[in-house]
């Protein structure tokens, strides 16, 4: 396995709207981020992934871009952005920008032109179709509820939008569109950025004819994913992008790829480097989703987590590279979802961090994870995210569904769980803003905040700092091969990582009860050093280990 800086890095994701407000308008901004660069340096992360900061009408908080080469007014100016990049580089950190090119905003100049007339030179930048029998061109449902098509009176046709109707899909079949995108990427790379996170990049190639989805849902729409996820020409386009742009720079790339199997990932993230460095898989994020999708909740099972994580670890070994995450701006907080956000909040947050950072791949920390931030339970009127609001309207306001049941799903799964303002201190609005925050602050900010975490040597923050430091000290954390140990154990997820004569033994108790682990006989070693734990435990490794609730330990064994 070849060495690379992006394999040895830890990434920190910033959702700028919620990170730090510098001017009191209640919205996070670039100067706010700049004021926290020393904090990030202290944590020890190598790369910052910045969720979109481009010009945007904010229908989907920046994931609807109206100008790819400028900064959103609320966030600041290009001069602020230059200062941010320089500030990161001065401190030895890198910057990864978000690339959102499956769709643009409907307020992008290309779309404004495109909708004007059928023979406009930008018409073919987007996916326009005439209606069928007075209805939409096909039955695809949008990710944000309702049809994936919007009728446009000016030309009596519909345009495709897999996300909101203010996010028209770009037509990647059009060579000019692809070249516009590559030029824009080059423009940012030449400004000195260090990589791209690519938004839903596995949706850019749609099956010709855009066939109807097979399984109709209520309302007559159907999931069309079979015809746009990992579509027929997606690898061709990514190889072209790689050849024309990516391969010319020493950068890091990660593709967001929902609905992707590990076989697909072997191509996207292949070790020859012809496409991307790594992708975000969603298989582990779907473990608590029932047949009805995200809002159809079921409890996740440790056995299934082991199966899914192990499959990705084994099947990408030597063939590709994993990204490691348990939450981001689209997912609930990991401690609330996979840990215990009550009695064992700090301890389980550390266990989850250890579990993830010791796997093989590049770890991603989402802002606030490093202090163990938790989910919220707001009233429907207090939410902002269009995914929540559209779904609630469709199911409850219009559909007459059960308010309490829908709210239960929202509390557990909604994206605003991750988007509440970063909790900096115990002062009003958690020190995020002096104004009125755009989204309500989590009411637990007086107990959970950065100031408190920095003052407590036993905090989640310092545990993460240590995890990151360890990665720099022991190659086995980056390059060792993975093996699952505790396949059948109902509470413990244990695994090893092996590199030449070194072995990491990683033990994690995922339950609120004590659990016993027996060391397999074939694990032989001359010395065992406890590298990190979330419990004040004896250093010694015994044949039988009793783990307290949510305890985790990592031993370095030497032959």
Q: Are 437 and 25 in contact (CB under 8 A)?
A: no
Burial profile 111-149: b = 16 or more Cβ within 10 angstroms, e = fewer:
beebbeeeeeebbbbbbbeeeeeeebbbbbbbbbbbbbb
CB of 387 vs ligand NOJ, minimal distance in Å? 7
| Distance separating alpha carbons of residues 504 and 495, to the nearest angstrom | 8
Reading the block at residue 105, the tokens are 């905003």
CB of 377 vs ligand NOJ, minimal distance in Å? 21
φ, ψ of residue 315 to 5 degrees: the values are -80, -15
Q: Are 160 and 173 in contact (CB under 8 A)?
A: no
Angle at 322 between CA 316 and CA 326, to 5 degrees: 130
* Closest CB to ligand NOJ among residues 21, 256: 256
CB of 312 vs ligand NOJ, minimal distance in Å? 20
How large is the greatest C-alpha to C-alpha distance in the chain, in angstroms?
76
CB of 200 vs ligand NOJ, minimal distance in Å? 5
Q: Are 508 and 492 in contact (CB under 8 A)?
A: yes
| Distance separating alpha carbons of residues 295 and 415, to the nearest angstrom | 12
* Closest CB to ligand NOJ among residues 279, 504: 279
Closest residue to ligand NOJ in the complex (CB): 63
* Closest CB to ligand NOJ among residues 61, 552: 61
Q: Are 138 and 130 in contact (CB under 8 A)?
A: no
Q: Are 202 and 255 in contact (CB under 8 A)?
A: yes
* Closest CB to ligand NOJ among residues 63, 424: 63
Q: Are 498 and 481 in contact (CB under 8 A)?
A: yes
* Closest CB to ligand NOJ among residues 200, 287: 200
CB of 301 vs ligand NOJ, minimal distance in Å? 26
CB of 294 vs ligand NOJ, minimal distance in Å? 13
60 lies in the binding site for ligand NOJ (CB under 6 A)? yes
| Distance separating alpha carbons of residues 492 and 510, to the nearest angstrom | 6
388 lies in the binding site for ligand NOJ (CB under 6 A)? no
* Closest CB to ligand NOJ among residues 87, 168: 168
CB of 172 vs ligand NOJ, minimal distance in Å? 15
* Closest CB to ligand NOJ among residues 149, 555: 149
59 lies in the binding site for ligand NOJ (CB under 6 A)? no
Measured from the Cβ of residue 400, the count of other Cβ atoms closer than 10 Å reads 8
Binding-site string for ligand NOJ from residue 155 to residue 184, where x marks contact by CB under 6 A and - marks none: --------x---------------------
Per CB under 6 A, which of residues 239..278 are in contact with ligand NOJ? 256
CB of 196 vs ligand NOJ, minimal distance in Å? 13
Question: Does residue 398 carry a catalytic annotation?
Answer: no
| Distance separating alpha carbons of residues 523 and 543, to the nearest angstrom | 10
φ, ψ of residue 186 to 5 degrees: the values are -60, -40
Q: Are 531 and 469 in contact (CB under 8 A)?
A: no
CB of 61 vs ligand NOJ, minimal distance in Å? 7
Q: Are 305 and 287 in contact (CB under 8 A)?
A: yes
Per CB under 6 A, which of residues 190..209 are in contact with ligand NOJ? 199-200
Q: How many residues bind ligand NOJ (CB under 6 A)?
A: 9
* Closest CB to ligand NOJ among residues 100, 262: 100
Tokens 């609330």 sit at which residue? 336
Among residues 46, 60, 169, 256, which one is catalytic? 256
100 lies in the binding site for ligand NOJ (CB under 6 A)? yes
Among residues 63, 110, 228, 464, the one that binds ligand NOJ under rule CB under 6 A: 63
* Closest CB to ligand NOJ among residues 168, 346: 168
Q: Are 194 and 224 in contact (CB under 8 A)?
A: no
CA-closest candidate to residue 200, choices 230, 165, 237, 245: 230
Per CB under 6 A, which of residues 289..318 are in contact with ligand NOJ? none
- The 3-class SS string of 468-522 reads HHHHHHCHHHHHCEEEECCCCCCCEEEEEEEECCEEEEEEEECCCCCEEEECCCC
| Distance separating alpha carbons of residues 363 and 460, to the nearest angstrom | 16
Could you report how far apart the first and last alpha carbons of the chain are, in Å? 22
CB of 507 vs ligand NOJ, minimal distance in Å? 33
CA-closest candidate to residue 192, choices 273, 51, 94: 94
- How many H-runs (helices) and E-runs (strands) does the chain carry? 17, 22
Per CB under 6 A, which of residues 392..431 are in contact with ligand NOJ? none
Among residues 29, 46, 74, 199, which one is catalytic? 199
* Closest CB to ligand NOJ among residues 46, 330: 330
Question: Does residue 272 carry a catalytic annotation?
Answer: no
Per CB under 6 A, which of residues 327..386 are in contact with ligand NOJ? 329-330
Cα 85 to its chain centre, rounded Å, is: 21
106 lies in the binding site for ligand NOJ (CB under 6 A)? no
| Distance separating alpha carbons of residues 486 and 507, to the nearest angstrom | 9
Chain residues binding ligand NOJ by CB under 6 A are 60, 63, 100, 163, 199-200, 256, 329-330
Q: Catalytic positions, please?
A: 199, 256
């Amino acid at each position: 396995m070849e060495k690379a800086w992006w394999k040895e890095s830890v990434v920190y994701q910033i959702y700028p709207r919620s990170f730090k407000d510098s001017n009191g308008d209640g919205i996070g901004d670039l100067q706010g981020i700049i004021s926290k660069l020393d904090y990030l340096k202290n944590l020890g992360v190598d790369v910052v992934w910045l969720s979109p900061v481009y010009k945007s009408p904010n229908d989907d908080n920046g994931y609807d871009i109206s100008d790819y080469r400028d900064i959103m007014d609320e966030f600041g100016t290009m001069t602020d952005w230059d200062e941010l990049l320089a500030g990161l580089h001065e401190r030895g950190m890198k910057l990864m920008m978000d690339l959102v090119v499956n769709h643009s905003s409907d307020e992008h100049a290309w779309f404004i032109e495109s909708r004007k007339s059928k023979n406009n030179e930008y018409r073919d930048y987007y996916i326009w179709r005439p209606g069928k029998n007075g209805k939409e061109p096909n039955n695809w449902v949008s990710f944000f509820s309702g049809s994936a098509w919007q009728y446009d009176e000016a030309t009596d046709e519909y345009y495709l939008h897999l996300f909101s109707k203010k996010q028209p899909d770009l037509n990647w079949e059009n060579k000019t569109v692809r070249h516009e995108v590559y030029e824009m990427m080059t423009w940012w790379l030449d400004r000195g950025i260090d990589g791209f996170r690519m938004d839903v990049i596995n949706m850019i190639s749609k099956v010709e004819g855009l066939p109807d989805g097979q399984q109709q849902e209520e309302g007559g729409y159907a999931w069309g994913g079979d015809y746009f996820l990992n579509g027929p020409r997606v690898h061709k386009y990514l190889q072209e992008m790689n050849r024309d742009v990516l391969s010319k720079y020493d950068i890091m790339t990660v593709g967001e790829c929902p609905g992707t199997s590990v076989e697909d990932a072997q191509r996207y993230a292949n070790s020859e480097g012809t496409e991307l460095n790594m992708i975000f898989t969603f298989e582990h994020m779907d473990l608590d989703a029932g047949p009805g999708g995200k809002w159809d909740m079921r409890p996740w099972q440790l056995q299934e987590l082991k199966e899914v994580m192990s499959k990705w670890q084994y099947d990408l070994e030597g063939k590709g590279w994993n990204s490691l995450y348990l939450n981001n701006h689209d997912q609930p907080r990991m401690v609330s979802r996979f840990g215990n956000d009550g009695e064992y909040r700090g301890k389980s947050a550390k266990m989850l961090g250890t579990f993830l950072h010791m796997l093989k791949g590049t770890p991603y920390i989402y802002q606030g994870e490093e202090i163990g931030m938790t989910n919220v339970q707001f009233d429907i009127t207090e939410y902002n995210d269009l995914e929540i609001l559209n779904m609630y309207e469709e199911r409850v306001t219009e559909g007459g569904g059960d308010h309490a049941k829908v709210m239960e799903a929202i509390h557990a799964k909604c994206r605003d769980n991750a988007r509440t303002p970063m909790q900096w201190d115990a002062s009003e609005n958690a020190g995020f803003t002096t104004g009125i925050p755009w989204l309500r602050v989590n009411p637990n900010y007086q107990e959970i905040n950065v100031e408190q975490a920095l003052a407590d040597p036993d905090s989640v923050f310092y545990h993460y700092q240590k995890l990151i430091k360890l990665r720099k000290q022991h190659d086995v954390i980056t390059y060792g091969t993975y093996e699952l140990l505790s396949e059948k154990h109902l509470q413990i997820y244990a695994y090893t990582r092996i590199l030449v004569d070194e072995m990491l033994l990683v033990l994690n108790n995922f339950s609120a009860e004590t659990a016993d682990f027996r060391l397999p006989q074939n694990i032989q070693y001359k010395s065992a050093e406890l590298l990190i734990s979330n419990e004040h435990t004896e250093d010694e490794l015994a044949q039988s280990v009793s783990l307290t609730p949510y305890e985790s330990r990592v031993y370095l064994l030497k032959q």
